[in-house]
Amino acid sequence: MSNRRLASIASVALVLGASALAAAGDPSPVAPAGAAAGAASAVPAGAAQPAAAEPSGDAAREPTAEEIAAAMQKFDAELKLQSGKVTVGDNLAELDVPEAFRFTGPEGTRKVLEAWGNPPGSEALGMLFPAGLSPIADDSWGVVISYVEEGHVDDDDAKDIDFGELLAEMQKDTGEGNLERQKAGFPAVRLIGWAEPPHYDPATKKLYWAKELEFVGNEHHTLNYSIRVLGRKGVLELNAVSGMKQLATVRGEMQSVLKFVEFKPGNRYDDFDEKIDQVAVYGIGALVAGKVAAKAGLFKGLFALMLASKKLVVAGLVAVAGGAKVLWERIRGRA
C-alpha cells in the first residue's frame, strides 16, 4: 500500500461518514502521514498475511471527472471557506484574507488534517488555502495556524544567531530524535537544509524560514515553510507544508501571508507589561529550532513527534497527501 493511499484513509470517513468506511471493510488502523508501507498493519511480524480481495465490478472502474469534482465539492462545502477579515482565537489576532486565499476555522481544519492522514485532536485555530484549489487536490497546500502561549519572547538574541551553526545543531538533533519518532510510529526524517534561511524583522516582530526534509519511504522531499509572529504573551505560528517542487509558489504566497496576519490590540508585542506578564524561557533561535529544553541548553524536540502532544503533531505535518482520485479508489475498495 502506498504512502499516499495510507494518508487518504481518514478522508473517506469525512466524505461518506464512518458507516461508509466500515462498510468498505477496512478495519486496519491508519498509519501516520508519511509512514512506510506496512506501518499500519496490526498483524505480528512473521505472521501470514491475509490475501487481498480482488476488486470486481463497480469497484474496479475508474472515477469519472464529474465524480471526482463532486467529491471535492462536497468536501470543500463542509469547510465553510471564506476570505476577508477573520478573527482567530478569543479576539487574539486578525487575518485580512485576500481573494487569493480561503480560510477555514478550527472544525474545518480538523477535517483537512485528518483527511491528509494526521492523527485526530488538532487544536489549530484555522487554516489557509490557495483559492481555486480544493484542499484534497493533489497539487494543493495549506497553512496551519496555531498559537502557543508560553510567555513574551525576548528577541535580543536575534542579531547574534549564527544560522549555519544552528542548522548543524538541528540536523544533529533530528538524527538523534529519529528513534523516538519511529517508536511513536512515524518514519525517520533527515533535515536536508534551509529551503529559505531565517529572516527576522525587529520592527514587525515577525520571523520566517523554511526547511527541506526527507522522510524515509517518501520519494519526494517535503517543504516546511514557517512564520512566527511575536505577541504579548505568546507566539502565533503559521506552518505551510507542501512538496519541494512547490517552493517558488509557496515562498511567494507566504510573503503575502506574512503581511496580512496581525495580533489584535491588547495582544501585540508592544502591549507587554513586565509587571504582570510572563517572559518565555527561550528566544528567537529556539523558535527556529522548534522549541527547546531550555535548562539543558539543547535544541531538543525537533521532529520528536509524540502522540500525546497534539501541538507537535500539528507542527510536524509530514506532507500534503491524498487527493480525490486516491480517496475515490479507497472508497471503491481498490487501495
- The CA distance from 44 to 187, in Å, is 19
Say if 44 falls within a structural domain.
no
pLDDT score at 53: 53
pLDDT score at 58: 57
Say if 89 falls within a structural domain.
yes
Do 130 and 14 sit in the same domain of this protein? no
Which residues does 62 contact at the CB level (< 8 Å), separation at least 6?
none
Say if 88 falls within a structural domain.
yes
Say if 45 falls within a structural domain.
no
Do 250 and 284 sit in the same domain of this protein? yes
Do 164 and 278 sit in the same domain of this protein? yes
Do 95 and 205 sit in the same domain of this protein? yes
pLDDT score at 129: 94
Do 27 and 135 sit in the same domain of this protein? no
Residue 159, phi then psi, degrees to nearest 5: -75, -15
Do 126 and 224 sit in the same domain of this protein? yes
Instruction: Note the pLDDT tens digit of each residue in 203-236.
Output: 999 999 999 999 888 888 989 999 999 999 999 9
Q: Is the pTM of this model over 0.75?
A: no
Q: Which residue bears the cell 497527501?
A: 321
**Residues shown for the chain:** 335
Do 151 and 274 sit in the same domain of this protein? yes
pLDDT score at 150: 93
Say if 95 falls within a structural domain.
yes
For the chain, 335 residues long, the average pLDDT of each consecutive 10-residue run is: 33 30 30 33 38 54 81 90 96 97 95 81 91 84 93 94 93 89 86 96 96 90 94 96 90 94 98 97 91 33 26 32 44 40
Do 16 and 64 sit in the same domain of this protein? yes
Say if 24 falls within a structural domain.
yes
Q: Per the structure block, which three cell numbers stand in for 87?
A: 478573527
Say if 46 falls within a structural domain.
no
Residue 101, helix vs strand vs coil? strand
CB 157 within 8 A of CB 284: yes
Do 130 and 199 sit in the same domain of this protein? yes
CA atoms in the 13 A half-sphere facing the CB of 273 = 5
Total domain count, the chain: 2
Q: Per the structure block, which three cell numbers stand in for 150?
A: 508560553
pLDDT score at 315: 32
Q: Write the CA distances from 255 to 131, 190, 222, 248, 262, integer angstroms.
A: 16, 26, 19, 11, 14
Which residues does 301 contact at the CB level (< 8 Å), separation at least 6?
177, 290, 291, 292, 293, 312
Q: Which domain, by its residues, includes 107? A: 81-315
